[in-house]
Structure 1
């Protein structure tokens, strides 16, 4: 990892000093197995995430990183193994319960943001609040404040197609954080961005998560992005391996 300690300090991240890994995990996966046809995407993977902790899941393409994130966030159910969030077994939860968790206590950010193209940035960010019962006025006021926080308030009236990649991704981060989630799952959030935009996105994500005490599970293949995390979990061929193992 080459990202400097000074930069990580300025971003509010890195090094694990702000949030030591102690106490019971908020989110834990043990022995996860997930297959797609003949392909074993996960082969007994285990990982833990504590409140306020930022963990980077790294590994080469095809190592199972995104599948692990999808299992942890309840998007995909594992074929075997367990996922526990705040004492609740997610692999046993109903689809309705998982949907509620993703709307209230989980925030998810994907590589390309996946903002709804027909909505403005402001309405994209307001949508989770309205789905949770907030009025349109309340939701838009909160969304406007979050866009300002991420430095894209001036783009609030734009649809995703009229925004730069970095602007759209920061709007996606605002959408993921607007409900005050306990955990944010970020799947290659800088993968489609240039280095400057990637730094802006990571600074925004890590700084906001630190301030709110939000745990972050960050999937990335980029060592510069992983350097923002408190610690790193390396996947290879669907299993967790000691850091630095290359074969």
Structure 2
């Protein structure tokens, strides 16, 4: 039987008087790639942020394996994101003052890894992503696609069990977006990382095993994604 690794039960989240989630329930199985789609403002990013522990829901439950994420303190949730949950944002959010290698090694250093071992791991991931030649360059010296590949390396360097990706190609042109998604899917499959990604682009959703369509804070459709 396939393990449910992430689960939401009746999630409710509002921003002031504006509801973002209206009782969302969802199960994600280990090793699965799930795309959450829908129009802007439908709640898909809020759902991702609740599942990853960035936000705490107003009501409902978030489960990661046998743990209640919504009951954890911010400190414990942050620690979980540094060790078992990876997060990739639309604009990468690299640290401008750090080189590519330093950005990728940062999660390992925060977790207490020796500096030399962290750099070695970072260089390995940059090589896997085809940007090893950028190791000593800062984000301002890279293209958007290069920055996002470095950000993907930073999200995967700890070998998380689950990767949450929020519009990972939204700021990229078509070619760069396809390259990032190709790397993301290949590397996730290689280390059996579960992926939950938010996108409004059908071609990006096509990389997933399953598509969840949201509208007005609710899931309206859950179906297998089109095979590539």
TM-score (ref. length: structure 2): 0.96
TM-aligned CA deviation for residue 75 of structure 1: 0.3
The C-alpha deviation readout for 1:16-49, integer Å capped at 9, x for no partner, is xxxxxx5231000011000001110101111111
Displacement of 1:69 in angstroms is 0.4
Q: 1:215 aligns with which of 194, 215, 219?
A: 194
Q: Please identify runs of 4+ aligned residues in structure 1 that moved more than 6 A.
A: none
Structure 2, gaps ≥5 residues long: 224-228
Q: Which of the pair is proportionally richer in strand?
A: 2
Corresponding position: 1:69 with 2:18: no
| Number of equivalent positions | 223
Q: Distance in 2 between matches of 1:106 and 1:64?
A: 21
Match status 1:44 vs 2:44: no
The reply on whether 1:155 has 2:128 as its aligned counterpart is: no
C-alpha distance in 2 between matches for 1:117 and 1:158? 10
Task: Using the TM superposition, give the Cα deviation of residue 243 of structure 1 relative to its aligned residue in structure 2, in angstroms.
Answer: 5.5
SS of structure 1 residue aligned to 2:165: strand
Structure 2 distance, partners of 1:209, 1:243, is 22
Alignment partner for residue 190 of structure 1, among 169, 182, 185? 169
TM-score (norm 1): 0.89
Query: Does 2:70 match 1:91?
Result: yes
Structure 1 partner of 2:179: 200
C-alpha distance in 2, partners of 1:138/1:79?
40
The separation in 1 between residues aligned to 2:145 and 2:221, in whole angstroms, is: 33
Structure with more relative contact order (C-alpha pairs < 8 Å, separation 6 or more): 1
1:14 aligned partner: none
Q: Give the Å deviation of 1:242.
A: 2.2
Change in Cα spacing, 1:243 to 1:50, as seen in structure 2 (3 Å) is closer
What RMSD, in angstroms, separates the aligned Cα atoms of the two structures? 1.0
Deviation at 1:156, TM superposition (A): 1.1
Which moved further from structure 2: 76-85 or 128-137?
Answer: 128-137
Q: Secondary structure at the match of 2:4?
A: coil
Q: CA deviation at 1:54?
A: 0.2
Aligned counterpart, 1:167: 146
Helix, strand or coil: the match of 1:57?
A: strand
